[in-house]
Amino acid sequence: MAAFHLSTFAQNDKVINFLFPVKTDGIENKVTSVFGESRGDHFHNGMDIASAGEPVLAMAEGKILYSRFGEDDPFGEEFGTGNSVWLDHGNGTYSSYYHLKDGRLPGLLEERIVAAGEKIAYTGNTGHSSGAHLHFVLLKDFGKTIQDPMKVLPIVEDESPPVIGNLLIHQDDYKYSQVNDGDNINISRAFPVTVGIQDAGKKSGQRRGVSQIQVSLNGQLLKKASFSNLHYEKGEWKNSEGFPFSDLYFKDQYLVGNLDFRNGENVIKVLAWDFRQNLTEKTFTFYVNRIR
């Protein structure tokens, strides 16, 4: 049976020093997804580390709040999170660990304190997972706020800035036009405009999200958005500046906006910071012929 303990663990405002939940070689090459990325229709609410069969460690001292493994209901529908464990670190701060390997470790059904760095599971590939990894989440305010784990974990080395790719104008859900610097385009009305941005980190080929974007049109700021935390407001999760998912992403690309370009020269400037604050900026200058 799954364990769920409602009482909270008091830390008395003690500063929590968080550890990486997987002690693995080359961590900078194994961080495959970061906080705030698009997942089609929702934000990625944690961080992913590629790992198979390695010990999962408590990120800090805490009380076992919840654990659920497939063995609790072998004939039931598998949760998207797969096997999971939640810890209560006090003062409304929780951590959760998903896609764990089958086989609950002894003691996880008890209402007890685990030490920082204590083994609580092994990394696996259960639930909705396309490859063995640990997805972990850091929550505050008793679950009302989800925090970017990078803000409190030891530094992950990354000297490579993000790569800003194509600017796209979307006519509908399936049709779009790519806009390159110097292009001449015909346009009749406002359309959603997106830009592709990726951060490879130290490992070439990885496609991670970024921590902050800023976009302007013809010298006027359109949007400045960061992904340091998510909070629940009026039935949906919003980022630090109060943007819901639909205002930040469209078709898995970063949404510049629903733009009605002026006739003649238009300039879009994009700035992007990764989670080590490496900065890239790119300017698109193009010419518009307004069609009636």
pLDDT (tens digit, 9 = 90+) per residue, 80-124?
999 999 999 999 999 999 999 999 999 999 889 999 999 999 999
Whether 120 is covered by a domain: the verdict is yes
One domain for residues 169 and 137: no
**pLDDT score of 201:** 81
One domain for residues 113 and 232: no
Question: Per-residue pLDDT averaged across 255-264, rounded?
Answer: 96
- In this predicted model, what pLDDT tens digit does every residue of 181-201 receive, in sequence order? 999 999 999 999 999 999 988
CA dihedral of residues 254, 257, 258, 264 (deg, nearest 10): -110
CA distance 138 to 153: 11
Of the residues 151, 177, 195, which one is the last residue of a structural domain? 151
Whether 126 is covered by a domain: the verdict is yes
- Is pLDDT of 2 > 70? no
* Confidence category of residue 79, pLDDT binned at 50, 70, 90: confident
Domain span including residue 238: 163-290
**pLDDT score of 11:** 58
One domain for residues 194 and 133: no
The CATH number of residue 224's host domain is 2.60.40.10
Question: Per-residue pLDDT averaged across 251-273, rounded?
Answer: 96
The CATH number of residue 46's host domain is 2.70.70.10
One domain for residues 143 and 226: no
One domain for residues 119 and 221: no
One domain for residues 114 and 175: no
Q: Return the number of other C-beta atoms located less than 10 Å from residue 67's C-beta.
A: 25
| Mean residue pLDDT across the chain | 92
Its pTM stands at 0.91
**pLDDT score of 205:** 75
CA distance 1 to 38: 33
One domain for residues 137 and 238: no
Whether 172 is covered by a domain: the verdict is yes
* Confidence category of residue 39, pLDDT binned at 50, 70, 90: very high
Whether 178 is covered by a domain: the verdict is yes
One domain for residues 140 and 168: no
- In this predicted model, what pLDDT tens digit does every residue of 121-143 receive, in sequence order? 999 999 999 899 999 999 999 99
One domain for residues 190 and 253: yes
CA angle 232, 271, 39 (to 5 degrees): 40
- Is pLDDT of 262 > 90? yes
**pLDDT score of 245:** 98
C-alpha to C-alpha distances, 161 to 87, 139, 272, 279, 280, nearest whole angstrom: 34, 28, 8, 6, 6
One domain for residues 206 and 227: yes
Amino acid identity of 199? D
Number of structural domains (the chain) is 2
Question: Per-residue pLDDT averaged across 164-190, rounded?
Answer: 93
Question: Per-residue pLDDT averaged across 151-166, rounded?
Answer: 93
| Neighbouring residues of 269: CB distance < 8 A, sequence distance ≥ 6 | 215, 216, 281, 282, 283, 284
Of the residues 105, 120, 151, which one is the last residue of a structural domain? 151
- Is pLDDT of 9 > 60? no
One domain for residues 210 and 278: yes
CA distance 36 to 212: 10
From 163-172, 173-182, 202-211, 273-282, the region with the lowest mean pLDDT: 202-211
Question: Per-residue pLDDT averaged across 195-222, rounded?
Answer: 92
Of the residues 151, 184, 206, which one is the last residue of a structural domain? 151
Whether 240 is covered by a domain: the verdict is yes
One domain for residues 35 and 75: yes
**pLDDT score of 173:** 80
**pLDDT score of 14:** 62
